[in-house]
Structure 1
């Protein structure tokens, strides 16, 4: 009996591993291509090398790992158990006295290891890949497009110059009918170069673009002395060199991106959350220190001072004024008192606004960091949750392959993704607490998983198409029978 159970465990593991590996990489490839199509318009035409694109795609594939893994597990579990059910292997196993839960046990242990691995990968590898991928993507998106001089169109890619080439040769270097306007002086088209022909080619290190112009002239105007002077110089051959250093790809320091919550692990997130809580507490306390100077009655005074002794006389007593405050103030000080009061109120409003803005920013930071902290766990727990949905669901539908299992898996994953995204958005907006928003999808789908598991254990035909066909045939037959019985009665 023990040997049979061990063989059974190996059977289910082997049956699961093939679909799991295939579906995981297919889903990861699909997510990576989706990312590429999203940013394709911003990356094409900038002269970025193939190696940079491969590097970006590899890094982004690693960052998409936590999203592809749950969907791959869901697809593989539905396909595996659906194929076993379709081939009546599940029926044979159940008839031998082995329950569905016992049959699922080796995969539950395997998925638990996968979930633990996903957490460590999400905690230690993903922050590094996020840092490298998003910094590289930022530099690539901000890279200037490559310089492309087209025939008959003025090109202004090089700052301070407008270049027009009438015609370009097939070799890409020979040019004719060339006009170059120099706007570096900021005085319009006061410097111009015309040439009938020439060559255009980059320097050996690609840092400069060299125009070798033949049979032309240069025009320069000088309006600095209030008089118009124009100088004309003819040339047989003349070189104009343009600096292309701004078109070179440069990398931003990765340290500038390290403050983002997506680039941190659980320990760093918890440390920053505690720091922001303390900062918010100190900011709230600072408001007393800001407002004390404007309320002299609350300021600490020496016991020998006259104001202190006068205040002590009225301490704990209710004083009713029979006249307004301005009746007590001398007429000569009315205007000054009003101006001082208005100034103090404006200062108080400004200080309260600063404290309120700081508190709001810190609260938003706490929200975002707590959301990232919970995401480290929810994405790993999603692996187990979607397996508990997919395995019994495959046993119920009893269909293998890439047809019905794929449709059902995508439907459940979309439901999970929508609920998860909605909870995260609500948490980001402060409508709900971060833990509530991030665990909302789990709380909704976990009862559904238990219902599906109980349904699969009891061999319920709820998801069986044939059961609905048979029920419809029975209902339809009953209506037809009643109609036939009513027809003779109507004839009588």
Structure 2
């Protein structure tokens, strides 16, 4: 590695971590001031639990959130300083092209992107689970998520088998207004209706009460009814719960499997899950785009110095964050394509990065 690469990479990482170390303590200070009264309402809540279960995960979550902002600001800051000290002019005067000058920046962006990819796909989801459980237990006045009761559930068990629940209590494993239908092509061949259904975890079976069975064969119906009978279905009660918070708590391999199984079972709108999965990759990739934009903006010596570069950079950064949040919201709607909506900010700012790079490379 050349001396130039080591010099720029050192400044790249030092400024990046310094910027994070400024942003995160500010966020923690603001959060403590807002939450301290809620912490004090729970005398059994120890300082160790607050730090270990809440603020460690707070740092992981918000550090990951602040990563693009910290990266962008840090690159603008130290590149503007290099430019202000005429170091960039000296580098170019020695015969080093803008493309070669950009190489250590991209190496730094690659390292941050790889670390961020691993964290987004495996570390942050586990952190989110502990973080959400702490907030549900101690900080929220009302439960944000109902993890024990679901209503009006439709599941497709296979190509020809469908089940429906009017409601299901995941705590007691009891469901009501249950029906099961089996089709032969487009024709109904078998149906079970039950007033109630209970999952017997010990035997992995379901107990259906006050039931009616309907067998349909060559236009003839055979109806059977009874008080109770046991049967087996290829799903468990945990698969009935489809809520948004699960997307943030599942590692990516489990989330992808969950999406696939849910689609096979006929769950309609899984866009919230898909947005979360795609975002875990798109956000780290933005490291390259934001680095190119920041270097292209700040490598020229300007009359206003660092202030002008920083102002224009922060403006672009907030526009990027705005596009990012809007695309996530739109991507979660049933009509949208979540993949393209999540990647749209990177596509738009990727085009901007190419334009600015060509301008800076002249």
TM-score scaled by length of structure 1: 0.49
For residue 363 of structure 1, what is the aligned residue in structure 2?
268
Contact 2:20 2:63 in 1 (8 A): no
Greater per-residue strand proportion? 2
1:447 to 340, 351, 356: 351
What is the match of residue 112 of structure 2? 114
Which runs of at least 4 in structure 1 moved beyond 6 Å after TM superposition?
A: 256-259, 399-402
Helix, strand or coil: the match of 1:64?
helix
Task: Quote the Cα distance in structure 2 between the aligned partners of 1:64 and 1:401.
Answer: 30
Give the distance between the partners of 2:322 and 2:113, measured in 1 at CA. 21
Q: Is the 8 A contact 1:42 1:141 kept in 2?
A: yes
Q: Which of 100, 103, 108 matches 1:102? A: 100
**Partner of residue 313, structure 2:** 409
User: How far off its partner does 1:378 sit?
Assistant: 1.0
Instruction: State the number of aligned residues.
Output: 261
Give 5+ residue unaligned stretches, structure 1: 145-255, 281-361, 459-492
Report Cα offsets for 1:176-212 as digits up to 9, x if no partner. Answer: xxxxxxxxxxxxxxxxxxxxxxxxxxxxxxxxxxxxx
Q: 1:399 to 1:114 in 2, by over 3 A?
A: farther
Q: Distance in 2 between matches of 1:392 and 1:258?
A: 39
Partner of 1:57: 55
Q: Measure the CA separation in 2 of the matches of 1:32 and 1:401.
A: 31
Matched, 1:264 2:264: no
**Structure 2, unaligned runs of 5 or more:** 143-240
In structure 2, C-alpha distance between the alignment counterparts of 1:8 and 1:391, rounded to whole Å: 15
CA positional deviation for 1:51 = 2.5
* Structure 1 residues 32 and 405: alpha-carbon distance in aligned structure 2, compared to 1, 3 A threshold: farther
Quote the residue 1:12 is aligned against. Answer: 8
Which range is displaced more, 396-405 or 104-113? 396-405
Partner of 2:284: 380
Instruction: Give the conservation status (yes or no) of the 8 Å contact 2:121–2:251.
Output: yes
Give the TM-score of the pair, scaled to structure 2.
0.66
Q: Distance in 2 between matches of 1:431 and 1:37?
A: 41
Cα deviations by residue, 1:318-357 (Å, 9 ceiling, x for unpaired): xxxxxxxxxxxxxxxxxxxxxxxxxxxxxxxxxxxxxxxx
Deviation at 1:259, TM superposition (A): 7.3
**Once the two structures are superposed, what CA deviation does each residue of 1:88-107 show, in whole Å capped at 9, x if it has no partner?**
01111111110112011022
CA distance, structure 1, for counterparts of residue 284 and residue 104 of structure 2: 18
| 1:426 is aligned to 2:355 | no
Contact 2:15 2:74 in 1 (8 A): yes
Question: Residues of 1 paired with 2:316 and 2:22: CA distance?
Answer: 18
- The 2-side partners of 1:96 and 1:410 are apart by 31
| Cα distance change of structure 1 residues 376 and 70 upon mapping to structure 2, 3 Å threshold | same
Query: How large is the RMSD of aligned CA atoms in angstroms?
Result: 2.7
- Alpha-carbon distance in structure 2 between the residues aligned to 1:42 and 1:402: 41
Whether the aligned pair in 1 keeps the contact of 2:297 and 2:313 (CA below 8 Å) is no
Tell me the distance in 1 between the aligned counterparts of 2:42 and 2:309: 42
Partner residue in 2 for 1:392: 296
